[in-house]
C-alpha cells in the first residue's frame, strides 16, 4: 500500500482548498438562511406559515438544481468551470437580497429583488454544490481508506462556515431595526466572493496522487480518453450505451403525471409538486441507462434507497432554520449577562483559532498561500489583543439573537468532526467500522433522541420561557446524528457511483435534500401558535409538545426500518462498505 492510501498519512493540499472554499460558500448560505424567515416576518410582515413555505421552497429548490449542474458538469463543462459560475451567481443572489432589504419599506420592489436573489442563489447552488463534493472523491485513488475521513473533514469545513456566519449575519441584521437586515445579506455576499476567489487562486492543488488535474474537463470526455487508452493497451471495447429516447419520454410523462397528482389531488403547491415528482422520476430515468451492469445498477439503487431515508432526516433536522428559529425567538429565554474586556474576547478567539489550525495541520497538508494568510490573521489578532487591553474597551451582551442559535449545531460539528474522522479511521484499521447503512440508521436515531429532549423541555411549561440548554442539547444530539449520516452519505455516493455518473448521481443525491427541505418548510408551517390547532396526516397539534412528538415518531421509525434493511443493502453494495 502506498503512502497515499495509508490510514495515517496526511490528506492532500487539494482537500484543504475544497475545505476552505466550501467553508466560505456555507458561510454565505447559512448566514443568509439564519435571517431569512426573520426578514420575511419582521421586515416584509409575511405571516409565519407563508414564510415557512417560502423558506421550504427556497431550500428545496437549492437542492433540486444540483441535478442540472451535475449533468452539465459531467457532459460539457467539467467540475471547475461549473463551480466558478455557480459561485458568481450565488454572490449576485446575495447582492440582490441586500438590495431587497435596502428597500424593505417599498414592499413590491423589495419582493421583486428578493425573488431575483433567491432565483440566482438556487441556480448558482445547482452548479456549485454537486461539483465541489464530487472533487473530494477524485483526489483519492480507488480503495483509499481515508475517504470517509476526508468527507468528514470536508463536512467540518462546511460547518465551520455555518458556525460563524449566523453569529455575524444575525448580529448585523437582526438588531430590531428592519433596515439592518441588508448588512447581514451583504456579509453573506462578501463571504461568497472570498470563497470563489480562493478556489480560483488555488485550484492548481486539485490533482490526483499521480499529478493529473481533477475536474478540469467533463467527466464524459475524461472517461472517453481513459477508454481509448485502455483499448490501445489491448483491452476490449465496452458498449457505451445511453438512456434511450423512449425512456426519456416515458419518465418525462411519469413526472408530469406525478406533478398533476401532487398538485390537484394532494393539494401541494407547484414548487413542492415539481420537487417531489422529479425526485421520483430522475432516479428511474438513470436506472434505465443501458450501459449499467447488474452490479452498477444495484449499487446505484442502494444510493437511492439511502437517499429515501435521508429525506426523513433532513425534514426533521432542517427545522433549525424555520420552526426552531420561531421557537427560539418566542418561547426561549435568551437572556445573558456577559461583561468582559474586548481583549479577553480576542484572546479566546485566538486560542480557539490556534487549536483549530493545529488540529487541521496534523491531518491535512495546508497550501503555502493559506499558511501565509493564516499567519497574517494571527498577527492581526495579536495586534487586536494588545490594543484592546491597552484601551480598556469592554464587551457587553444582554441577549443572544434567535438566528444565532443556528450556529450551535456548527460549533458541535467543528469540535466533533475531527474526533469522528479519527474514530472511523481507528475502527477501520481494526475492521470494526460500521458499514455506511448502519451509520445512517444511527444518525436517524440520534435525531429522534434530540426531539425527545426538547419535547420533555416544553411539556407543561405554560407561559414560562424555557432554558436555552434544552435547545442546545437537541442540537448536540442532532450533530452526532448528522456526523453519522451526512458525510457518510456523500462518501457512499462517491464509492458506489460509476465514474461517468459521478456528478449526476451527486446531484440526484441532493434531490433527497430538495424533497426534505421542501417537506421541512411544509412541516414548519404546522408550527402551532396560540389559539390555533394544526393537523398533519390526521395528527392534531395544539402546542409545541405535540409538534415535536411528530418528529420523534417520524425519525425514530425511519431509523428502525433502515437498520433492518441494512443487511440487504450491504449485499447489493457488492463488497463496498
Asked if residue 568 is part of any domain, the answer here is yes
String of b and e for 376-409 (b: at least 16 CB within 10 Å)? eeeeebeebbeebeeeeeeeeeeebbbbbbbbbb
Specify if 263 maps to a domain. no
State residue 218 phi and psi, 5-degree precision: -60, 145
Opening angle at CA 55, ends 328 and 403, nearest 5: 30
Clarify whether residues 509 and 374 are in a common domain: no
Q: Classify residue 335 by its DSSP letter.
A: E
Query: Residues with Cβ < 8 Å from 48, sequence gap 6 or more?
Result: 37, 41, 326, 525, 527, 529
Q: Are residues 465 and 367 in the same domain?
A: no
pLDDT at 529: 75
Cα gap 39→61, rounded to integer Å: 19
Q: Which three cell numbers stand for residue 236?
A: 476490449
Residues 451 and 390 reside in one and the same domain:
no
Q: Tell whether 90 is covered by a domain.
A: yes
Residue 300 CB contacts under 8 Å (≥ 6 apart), including other chains: 286, 287, 292, 496, 497, 498, 501, 505
pLDDT for res 235: 57
Is residue 286 scored above 70 in pLDDT? yes
Same structural domain, 139 and 162 = yes
Is 328 in the same domain as 348?
no
pLDDT in tens, 493-529: 878 877 767 767 777 777 888 888 888 888 888 888 7
Residues 421 and 345 in one domain: no
Specify the number of domains making up the chain: 2
The predicted-structure confidence for 34-84, as pLDDT tens digits, reads as follows 899 899 999 998 988 888 889 888 988 887 887 788 778 877 888 888 999
- Residue 467's DSSP bridge partners are 333
What is residue 427's predicted lDDT score, i.e. its pLDDT? 82
Which CATH number belongs to the domain containing residue 72 in this structure? 1.20.1250.20
- 246 lies in a domain? no
Burial class (CB in 10 A: 0-12, 13-18, 19+), 211: exposed
Among 359, 382, 399, which residue terminates a domain?
399
pTM: 0.76
Considering the domain boundaries, does residue 262 fall inside one?
no
| Residue 259 maps to a domain | no
In terms of residue numbers, what domain contains 339? 335-399
Same domain, 508 and 388: no
pLDDT at site 142: 74
Q: Is residue 353 part of a domain?
A: yes
Which of 366, 383, 399 is at the close of a domain?
399
Pairing verdict, β 466-467 and 332-333: parallel
pLDDT on residue 462? 66
Residues 320 and 424 in one domain: yes
What is the rounded average pLDDT for all residues in the chain?
84
Checking if the pLDDT of 227 tops 50, the result is yes
One domain, residues 507 and 475:
yes
> Is 560:456 a contact under the CB 8 Å cutoff?
no
Last residue of a domain, one of 356, 377, 399: 399
User: What is the phi/psi pair of residue 349, to 5°?
Assistant: -60, -45
Q: Does one domain contain both 34 and 154?
A: yes
Domain check: are 20 and 49 in the same one?
A: yes
Residue 191 pLDDT level (bands cut at 50, 70, 90): very high
Any domain includes 549: yes
Model pLDDT for residues 526-565, shown as the tens digit of each residue: 888 776 788 888 888 888 899 999 999 999 999 999 999 9
HEC string of 381-423? HHHHHHHHHHHCCEEEEEECCHHHHHHHHHHHHHHHHHHHHHH
Could you tell me if 220 and 364 lie in one domain?
no
* Section 130-148 average pLDDT: 79
Amino acid at each position: 500500500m502506498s503512502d497515499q492510501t495509508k490510514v495515517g498519512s496526511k490528506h492532500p493540499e487539494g482537500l484543504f482548498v475544497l475545505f476552505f472554499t466550501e467553508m466560505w460558500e456555507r458561510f454565505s448560505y447559512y448566514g443568509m438562511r439564519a435571517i431569512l424567515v426573520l426578514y420575511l416576518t419582521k421586515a416584509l410582515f409575511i405571516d409565519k406559515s407563508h414564510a415557512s413555505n417560502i423558506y421550504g421552497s427556497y431550500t428545496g429548490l437549492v437542492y433540486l438544481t444540483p441535478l442540472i449542474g451535475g449533468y452539465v458538469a459531467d457532459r460539457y463543462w467539467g467540475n471547475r468551470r461549473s463551480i466558478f459560475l455557480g459561485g458568481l451567481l450565488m454572490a449576485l443572489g446575495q447582492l440582490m437580497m441586500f438590495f431587497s432589504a435596502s428597500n424593505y419599506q417599498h414592499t413590491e420592489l423589495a419582493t421583486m429583488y428578493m425573488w431575483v436573489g433567491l432565483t440566482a442563489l438556487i441556480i448558482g447552488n445547482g452548479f456549485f454544490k454537486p461539483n465541489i463534493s464530487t472533487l473530494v472523491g477524485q483526489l483519492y485513488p480507488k480503495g483509499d481508506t481515508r475517504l470517509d475521513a476526508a468527507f468528514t473533514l470536508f463536512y467540518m469545513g462546511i460547518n465551520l462556515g455555518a458556525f460563524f456566519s449566523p453569529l455575524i449575519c444575525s448580529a448585523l441584521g437582526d438588531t430590531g431595526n428592519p433596515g439592518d437586515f441588508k448588512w447581514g445579506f451583504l456579509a453573506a455576499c462578501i463571504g461568497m466572493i472570498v470563497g470563489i476567489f480562493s478556489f480560483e487562486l488555488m485550484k492548481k492543488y486539485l490533482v490526483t496522487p499521480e499529478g493529473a488535474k481533477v475536474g478540469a474537463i467533463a467527466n464524459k470526455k475524461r472517461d472517453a480518453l481513459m477508454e481509448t487508452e485502455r483499448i490501445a493497451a489491448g483491452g476490449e471495447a465496452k458498449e457505451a450505451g445511453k438512456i434511450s429516447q423512449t425512456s426519456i419520454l416515458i419518465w418525462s410523462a411519469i413526472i408530469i403525471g406525478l406533478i398533476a397528482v401532487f398538485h390537484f389531488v394532494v393539494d401541494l403547491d407547484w414548487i413542492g409538486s415539481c420537487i417531489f415528482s422529479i425526485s421520483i422520476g430522475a432516479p428511474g430515468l438513470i436506472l434505465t441507462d443501458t450501459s449499467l451492469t447488474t452490479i452498477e445498477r444495484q449499487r446505484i439503487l442502494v444510493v437511492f434507497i439511502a437517499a429515501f431515508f435521508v429525506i426523513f432526516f433532513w425534514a426533521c433536522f432542517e427545522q433549525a432554520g424555520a420552526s426552531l428559529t420561531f421557537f427560539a425567538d418566542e418561547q426561549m429565554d435568551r437572556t445573558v449577562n456577559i461583561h468582559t474586556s474586548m481583549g479577553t474576547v480576542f484572546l479566546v478567539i485566538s486560542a480557539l483559532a490556534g487549536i483549530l489550525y493545529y488540529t487541521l495541520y496534523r491531518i491535512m497538508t495546508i497550501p503555502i498561500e493559506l499558511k501565509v494568510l493564516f499567519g497574517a490573521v494571527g498577527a492581526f489578532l495579536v495586534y487586536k489583543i494588545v490594543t484592546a487591553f491597552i484601551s480598556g474597551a469592554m464587551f457587553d451582551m444582554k441577549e443572544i439573537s434567535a438566528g444565532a442559535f443556528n450556529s450551535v449545531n456548527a460549533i458541535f460539528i467543528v469540535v466533533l468532526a475531527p474526533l469522528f474522522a479519527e474514530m472511523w479511521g481507528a475502527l477501520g484499521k481494526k475492521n470494526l467500522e460500521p458499514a455506511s447503512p448502519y451509520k445512517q440508521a444511527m444518525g436517524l436515531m440520534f435525531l429522534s433522541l434530540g426531539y425527545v429532549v426538547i419535547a420533555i423541555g416544553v411539556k407543561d411549561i405554560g407561559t414560562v420561557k424555557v432554558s436555552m440548554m434544552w435547545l442546545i442539547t437537541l442540537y448536540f444530539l442532532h450533530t452526532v446524528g448528522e456526523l453519522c449520516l451526512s458525510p457518510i452519505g456523500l462518501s457512499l455516493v462517491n464509492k458506489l457511483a460509476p465514474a461517468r455518473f459521478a456528478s449526476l448521481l451527486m446531484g440526484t443525491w441532493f434531490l433527497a435534500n430538495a424533497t426534505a427541505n421542501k417537506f421541512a418548510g411544509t412541516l414548519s408551517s404546522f408550527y402551532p401558535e396560540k389559539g390555533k390547532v394544526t393537523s398533519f396526516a390526521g395528527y392534531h397539534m395544539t402546542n409545541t409538545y405535540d409538534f415535536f412528538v411528530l418528529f420523534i415518531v417520524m425519525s425514530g421509525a425511519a431509523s428502525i426500518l433502515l437498520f433492518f434493511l441494512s443487511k440487504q443493502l450491504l449485499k447489493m453494495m457488492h463488497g463496498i462498505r
